[in-house]
Structure 1
Amino acid sequence: MPVLQTVTRETFWTIGPVGEAAFYYLAAVAILVFLYGVYARISEYAAAPADPFDRLDDLPGRVARATRLLLSNEAQFDRDTYAGVMHTFLVWGFLTLLIGTTILAIDMDIWTKLLGQPSFFVGRFYLSYSLVMDALGLLFVVGVGMALWRRYGVRESRLWGKHTDLEDDAFVWTLFALGVGGYVVEALRILGTGFPDFETVSFVGYALALLGQEAGISPATAETVYAAVWWSHSLLALGFVALLPYAKPVHMLTSMANIVTRDEQAGKRLPGVPADLPPDEIGTGSVDDFTWRERLDQDACTTCGRCSSVCPANEVGRNLDPRDVILDLKAYREERAAGEAEEVPIVADGGESVIDAESMHACLSCMACMDACPVDIEHVKQFTGMNRRLTESGEMDPHVQDAMMNVFQQGNVFGDPARKRPEWTDELEFEVPDAREEDVDLLWYVGDYPSYDERNERVAQSLARIFEAAGVSYGILYEDEQHDGNDVRRVGEEGLYEMLVEDNAAAFADAQFDEIVCTDPHSYNTFTHEYPEMAEEFDYPVSHYTEVVERLVREGQLPLSPALGQTVTYHDPCHLGRMNDVYEAPRDLVRSTGATLAEMPRNRADSFCCGGGGGGVWTEVEEERKPSEERLREAVEDTDGAVEQFVVACPMCTTMFEDGRKTGGYEEDLEIVDLTELLVEAMEAAAIDGADDTGRTGAAAD
């Protein structure tokens, strides 16, 4: 043990007392500059408008969750294993180097200088410290090397864009120089001090020292150049610390803060508009309208391009790149704060503005960008704010505007009279119960498309037959039902949405039921996450029909025959899957029919939007390729089996894919089938099997 006490290293070897004093002075300056930068950003956030949602409730839980995500890097692993490994090496390596530097500072500056205690940076502690620092530091260097290779070797396309500049290059090369530079300093010290035996634990530095020796570097030369290399490394590190809050590395701070303050229901629900707010102030029109969380969102963006790479509008060539929108807003905000830009509208249709209205019209509110973002940026909330401003200024897409007028006048997007809403029931061989006149277990909210659209009427009729066959207690509101408002809200028509909430909530309140079941995932989403905040009396269990029917099958109430032999694929609707985590119930139902399920590469949370959300179902876009066509291409070309039927569980998806099947030339390749229709086919097969069994039994008796 006495021998181990001599095992250590001299931190300021060859630097001298003057150099040590200079280092402490520069370190103090760097820390002060860093702290001022942090203070300035926090001050900006504090002076910004409040966010409508509570972002700091259960703060310990929020911090614990953010820490878990930081250490596990699970968001980075999603869709990209290479990036997950790379980021894990970077994070764990960087944190180790940071903690190691902090421990050294505590020993040198507090434990020994202030408290007058003998250094603990000796013996076994020093050996353990050196081994861990070398090992994890090597991971850091490897991680930076992987980043360099991805950026400059394979030139990953999503890492390059309009906001890529020299600052990105400087950031990644600085990290590389810091990581490698630390080992060079260590190697020169080991070589210059004659290769102490115990320094073999610093295996990376020791190996570099051996290489230096083989290259002809003498101990005297190593000692001579050590100070210059040490100062170069130290100044680079101090400069990095000082500039961190002012440049791209700030995301190392803001990303963590963004994850801590995330809204668990972001995108699923949207903030309301204060009742006393003048119409011309609704939505995002100027820099002053950004809440503190929206500013933090913008500052947290790492320009990784994950959001852009999964955006369906961006993939088919529409004028929307989610990353560019967030970074354009950030750049304009910073330019305005510095007095370098004139005031222009945040969003406008034509003329000078930060964001073009066409970009906001292109957004499908599918939340793929938010799901892919590793730092929890809430794109949809900011996009909706801009859509609200466009709506209030009369700059809405003409087709969407027509749909909104139909909803306002008739309560549905088709503009048909309310009395026609239940006409789809006329072709049924039974009467659908009226929930306004009798108590029911299930209040079935049918929705606009199953009620008025000829193709989707077959979906409503199929679901009605399923409920009848299962013998459940159900009913509909007939003409008292109105549009749910989910997409009305997302195109910016907040006032109309509030009116729909009030009318639908009143209709529901007049009925007696236990549970709401929705045909459309869009209805399911807004009833679940938004109506309760708008109407206090709206406190009902809400389910999608796939959940209810799966329950009926599981409990043996619905007779099905697993006799279907076709190969099908299932498309996860954005509002059912990504937004509400309903993935297995629809798949269980598909399997219960006997059909073979072939998954598309993009499934579950990674599902590709049909193009109908956020008002997309009401717009007409001249383009070479539609989102629905790209999804059908995936179903035809990228599945393992020969898919015969494309199964959906959303009326809007049915509409979009039926259109894409025609315009994309897939009419001969596959059939669009709602899950209800597949289930009815299995029910009919069960009935035939039952009849055959009865016939065979009778024949045997004869």
Structure 2
Amino acid sequence: MTYPLQAGTEVTRETFWLIGPVGELIFYYLAVLTIVVFLWGVYRRFARYSRGSADAFDRLNDLPGRVARAAKIVASNEKQFNRDFVGGVMHAFILWGFLTLLIGTTILAVDMDLWTKGLGQASFFVGDFYLSYSLVMDAMGLLFVVGLGVALYRRYVVNVDRLWGKHTSWEDDFLVWTLFLLGVGGYAVEGIRILGTGFPSFETVSFVGWFVADVFAIAGVDEATARAVYPLAWWSHALLAFVFIAAIPYAKPFHMISSFANVVTHDERAGKRLPGIPVDLEHTNAEDIDDFSWKELLDQDACTKCGRCSSVCPAKASGRHLDPRDVILDLKSYRESLDAGGEERPIVADGGGVIDTVTMESCMACMACMDACPVDIEHLNSFTRLNRQMTDEGAIRPSMQDVFQNVMQKGNTFGDPARKRADWTEELDFEIADAREEPVEYLWYVGDYPSFDDRNKRVARSLATLFEHADASVGILYDDEVYDGNDVRRVGEEFLFLEQAGTLVESFEACEFETLVCTDPHSYNTFKNEYPDVDFEEFADDPMMDFDVDGRWNADGEIEVYHYTQVVAELVAEGRLPLDGTELDYTVTYHDPCHLGRFNDVYETPRNLVRATGCDLHEMPRNRANSFCCGGGGGGLWMDLEEDSKPSEERLREALSDTDAGAAVEKFVVACPMCMTMYEDGRKTGGFEDEIEIVGLSELLAEAVSTHDGATAAGREADRSAAPADD
């Protein structure tokens, strides 16, 4: 059936069709009221952040660049696709549909209220512009409804587990159902209008609305009935829109604003570095909710309860008492209860605290939650603040107190005398240079575990052998080396971290070298990303800080900091470590250490080294940025926590069961001393001793180089044996 365009009919539509002048005045009154309520709510939200403490980092430098980055992230939905393609498509449909409808509504308001009524110009909402407008609005609105339909299906039919939690409430339902009803209701209003105006032929561009009008007509709705029903449908749609807009600052829809602000103010090195503590005797860490910085308060409001952080948290997966989402939302709920006149409670404490101490002890500081978060929430900053409060109050486990005592008294986490730090070198058949006495190209920071732990000493010796074979100029600090402080900082002992950092930097500055190379990714990260941020001069008058360092160390990056895999890769590339990819034939898998991979994006270099040995490398399903933590970070190495299955045990099961090679995997390759310790333990407690071997990457490389040398020597001997004897 066709409906010809009536003679003289203009290609447009009447905005307030059948509403009347009184209804139009009521509409504008409600619109102004809605905007006032909205703006007041937004103002109160942002004013509340100003009551938080100052943030340690400049969050508004290069503001145009920050806004551009945030716009790119939001517009592309790139983080929504992380680990969830369907969720990414769904969110893209909703976002772009919503923005298009918002822009379309704004264009209509400009035409009606500014261009036509304000400036007295002829409406531009006619002809080709109107037709193009209608087509785009219908097409993008359809994506909006489809996206929301998928969201409803995932939430209420599939029941995606991560979407539900202790903080699930009416506002989650309100957000998704209101948007869905607005989308569907808009098409219903459009369909009734098209039917009520006699199906003007140009309205076919509104293909969804035209389809809805056809459905109404088939259902028996005539033109007169449509005209009678239209005002009720129109007002229902308008009032629902007003309620939604007014509610934005007061409920979950506020994430549309707070999330963008959070991405704008994000620290690109968040997690890799932590905020320091000011030299202020009045400073408190988390005694009060307003001790949290304004950015940490913004983090709380930016949370969309999507549960992506929860789904990747190794502590939660292991049965520990930690859900990263709940910690952020617990703090938010407490803040809101205080603002509403609620009772004050300790922020972190067992029995009545907002956060239990065992919750924070469970965190491995692996940064998986931050990597998965689509709105750049910086969990580790808030978590470290809570840990510092626990440390201030002495609410930490005796095992951690022992570690702190060892570091304070002996300069290492083992509590061994400093003179024994280099004892691991005694079994080498060569000497390692003393960097305190002679210039070297590479100053090698060996670290605590390679220096004192028997299993990791073998890793240190294998790496020393590689350096010696390559004739690299490498030196160590011998008994002047002390613990780097990375993990005690994440447990909350900031001043002990500063003391260790100042002591080490004093030793670094007394040496002549070009590059600092680390065995441990934890040391690598803290030297690269944290030490340069410390203004040691601020602590010069503190009697507890027994070091003499002026200003900042390596603030301009003049000293390059590398993990050993990066240096060894250079030596291989230069031909100083001969490997042709045929030396070994093991079937192996490789584990990405959190501090090397997720923290510093070093993924391919270790893999290339594994392949250079000739080993057959098979990836575990969770690899690279999605790697599963060994459980040793954030003090986990020194804590005996109750858990259903140790993270190290779960990871070894994954290696043997979920890789393509399955049980054929012979060696589990690690590039971190802490990982070595945790996986050797998990190998025993999980019953994997007869199934797989834990091997350091440097050990694998040393074996390959030795095999290559042996093959080369055998080849030369064979050549000599085959040569004709002289007459």
TM range (shorter): over 0.9
- Contact 1:76/1:83 (<8 A) preserved: yes
2:671 maps to 1:649: yes
The letter of the residue matching 2:507 is A
The equivalent position to 2:682 in structure 1, one of 655, 660, 682, is 660
Match of 1:55 in 2: 59
What SS does the aligned partner of 2:358 have? helix
- Contact 1:561/1:685 (<8 A) preserved: no
What's the CA shift for 1:277?
A: 2.6
What's the CA shift for 1:288?
A: 2.0
- Contact 1:406/1:414 (<8 A) preserved: yes
What's the CA shift for 1:688?
A: 1.2
The letter of the residue matching 1:639 is T
How far, CA to CA, are the matches of 1:197 and 1:407 in structure 2?
Answer: 82
How far, CA to CA, are the matches of 1:48 and 1:513 in structure 2?
Answer: 43
What's the CA shift for 1:183?
A: 0.2
Match of 2:539 in 1: none
The equivalent position to 1:586 in structure 2, one of 601, 606, 617, is 606
2:348 maps to 1:344: no
Q: How many residues align?
A: 697
What SS does the aligned partner of 2:50 have? helix
Structure 2: 5+ residue stretches without partners: 1-5, 537-550
The letter of the residue matching 1:655 is T
Match of 2:473 in 1: 473
* Range with greater deviation from structure 2 (179-188 or 634-643): 634-643
Output the TM-score relative to the length of structure 1.
0.98
- Contact 2:442/2:475 (<8 A) preserved: yes
How far, CA to CA, are the matches of 1:238 and 1:613 in structure 2?
Answer: 48
2:711 maps to 1:689: yes
Q: How does 1:27-426 map to 2 (within 5 A)?
A: 27-278=31-282, 281-339=283-341, 341-348=342-349, 350-426=350-426
How far, CA to CA, are the matches of 1:50 and 1:219 in structure 2?
Answer: 63
- Contact 2:490/2:634 (<8 A) preserved: yes
How far, CA to CA, are the matches of 1:3 and 1:104 in structure 2?
Answer: 25
- Contact 1:45/1:292 (<8 A) preserved: yes
What's the CA shift for 1:52?
A: 1.1
What's the CA shift for 1:561?
A: 4.3
Match of 1:546 in 2: 565
2:638 maps to 1:596: no
The letter of the residue matching 1:401 is Q
With over 3 angstroms needed to count, the CA separation of the structure-2 counterparts of 1:247 and 1:668, relative to structure 1, is same
The letter of the residue matching 2:61 is D
- Contact 1:421/1:479 (<8 A) preserved: yes
Deviation digits for residues 249-277 of structure 1 (CA, Å, limit 9, x no counterpart): 01111000000000111111111111123
Deviation digits for residues 50-96 of structure 1 (CA, Å, limit 9, x no counterpart): 11110000000000000001111110100000110000001100000
What's the CA shift for 1:166?
A: 1.9
With over 3 angstroms needed to count, the CA separation of the structure-2 counterparts of 1:4 and 1:100, relative to structure 1, is farther
- Contact 1:561/1:683 (<8 A) preserved: no
- Contact 2:284/2:291 (<8 A) preserved: no
Match of 2:524 in 1: 524
2:721 maps to 1:699: yes
Match of 1:510 in 2: 510
What SS does the aligned partner of 2:695 have? strand
What's the CA shift for 1:537?
A: 4.6
How far, CA to CA, are the matches of 1:664 and 1:635 in structure 2?
Answer: 13
* Range with greater deviation from structure 2 (293-302 or 662-671): 662-671
Deviation digits for residues 591-612 of structure 1 (CA, Å, limit 9, x no counterpart): 1001011001111111000000
Deviation digits for residues 454-487 of structure 1 (CA, Å, limit 9, x no counterpart): 0000000000000001111010000000001000
Match of 2:576 in 1: 557
How far, CA to CA, are the matches of 2:426 and 2:475 in structure 1?
Answer: 15
Match of 1:632 in 2: 652
- Contact 1:560/1:685 (<8 A) preserved: no
How far, CA to CA, are the matches of 1:192 and 1:533 in structure 2?
Answer: 68
The letter of the residue matching 2:346 is P
Match of 1:456 in 2: 456
How far, CA to CA, are the matches of 1:149 and 1:115 in structure 2?
Answer: 47
Output the TM-score relative to the length of structure 2.
0.95
- Contact 2:59/2:265 (<8 A) preserved: yes
Deviation digits for residues 648-687 of structure 1 (CA, Å, limit 9, x no counterpart): 0000000000000110111122110110010011101101
Deviation digits for residues 354-393 of structure 1 (CA, Å, limit 9, x no counterpart): 0000000000100000000000111100010011011011
Deviation digits for residues 497-547 of structure 1 (CA, Å, limit 9, x no counterpart): 110011000011111000000000000000011111114452121000000
What SS does the aligned partner of 2:31 have? helix
The letter of the residue matching 1:193 is T
The letter of the residue matching 2:67 is V
Deviation digits for residues 200-223 of structure 1 (CA, Å, limit 9, x no counterpart): 000000001101111101011111
How far, CA to CA, are the matches of 1:382 and 1:537 in structure 2?
Answer: 25
What SS does the aligned partner of 1:114 have? coil
Match of 2:542 in 1: none
How far, CA to CA, are the matches of 1:38 and 1:439 in structure 2?
Answer: 59
The letter of the residue matching 2:684 is K
How far, CA to CA, are the matches of 2:281 and 2:576 in structure 1?
Answer: 52
The letter of the residue matching 1:558 is L
How far, CA to CA, are the matches of 1:277 and 1:260 in structure 2?
Answer: 32
Which runs of 4 or more aligned residues in structure 1 lie more than 6 Å from their structure 2 counterparts after TM superposition? 2-5
What's the CA shift for 1:623?
A: 2.7
How far, CA to CA, are the matches of 1:221 and 1:655 in structure 2?
Answer: 77
The letter of the residue matching 2:205 is V
What SS does the aligned partner of 2:434 have? coil
How far, CA to CA, are the matches of 1:530 and 1:471 in structure 2?
Answer: 31
What's the CA shift for 1:46?
A: 2.3
Match of 1:11 in 2: 15
What SS does the aligned partner of 2:147 have? helix
The letter of the residue matching 2:649 is E
The letter of the residue matching 1:614 is G
Match of 1:620 in 2: 640
- Contact 2:620/2:659 (<8 A) preserved: yes
What SS does the aligned partner of 1:364 have? coil
- Contact 1:284/1:386 (<8 A) preserved: yes
Q: How does 1:426-445 map to 2 (within 5 A)?
A: 426-445=426-445
The equivalent position to 1:678 in structure 2, one of 700, 717, 726, is 700
What's the CA shift for 1:624?
A: 2.9
- Contact 1:134/1:203 (<8 A) preserved: yes
With over 3 angstroms needed to count, the CA separation of the structure-2 counterparts of 1:556 and 1:32, relative to structure 1, is same
How far, CA to CA, are the matches of 1:691 and 1:193 in structure 2?
Answer: 94
What's the CA shift for 1:4?
A: 10
How far, CA to CA, are the matches of 1:495 and 1:47 in structure 2?
Answer: 26
With over 3 angstroms needed to count, the CA separation of the structure-2 counterparts of 1:4 and 1:456, relative to structure 1, is farther
- Contact 1:50/1:292 (<8 A) preserved: yes
- Contact 1:571/1:646 (<8 A) preserved: yes
How far, CA to CA, are the matches of 1:596 and 1:532 in structure 2?
Answer: 39
What SS does the aligned partner of 1:120 have? coil
Deviation digits for residues 309-329 of structure 1 (CA, Å, limit 9, x no counterpart): 001000011000000010000
